[in-house]
Amino acid sequence: MKDKKLVLFDFDGVLANTIECSQEALQNAIVELSKNYILSIVSSSRDNSIKIFLQKENINEYFSDILGTDIYSSKVVKIKSLLEKYSIQQQDAVLITDTLGDIKEAKECGVLSIGVLWGLHEKKTLEKGNPAKIIDSPLDLLDSVKEILG
């Protein structure tokens, strides 16, 4: 990885417990993203449940960090700690999420976000946070991240 860039994933509604989401397309996007970006999870779920899910789906090896509620409750703290850990500038990171609250927390850290429509909030709600993009399929994930982070 020449220039380190960070892709942050929310867990519930983005990777797990999704509505009408192709897990296969999502897994393919994760594998492809991991070739060029550092992938981490920032979540309000417990670390252990995230790890169990990632192992079951055979995607645990693609994530460098899992920061759940066992670490910190604030996603702002989690995002900032990962930026610091990897010495990554805010403009070189993006958060993939399904909630308006997460979009606002990313913005508080100076990080852009991608809202996904296969999770909790509808498009109208996500738009209130003004994310960099809103996508409705995991098939759009790879291109969206490349467009934002290069």
Give me the residue spans of the domains in the chain. 6-149
Low-confidence ranges of the chain (pLDDT < 50): 1
pTM listed for this prediction = 0.95
Contact status, residue 15 vs residue 141, Cβ threshold 8 Å: no
Q: Where are the beta strands (DSSP E) in the chain?
A: 6-9, 38-42, 65-67, 93-97, 112-116, 133-135
pLDDT at 63: 98
pLDDT at 1: 47
pLDDT at 19: 72
The number of residues making up the chain comes to 150
pLDDT at 2: 54
pLDDT at 73: 84
Q: Which two tokens stand for residue 64?
A: 């460098």
Q: Select from 3.40.50.1000, 3.30.43.10, 3.20.20.70, 2.30.40.10 the CATH code of 6-149.
A: 3.40.50.1000
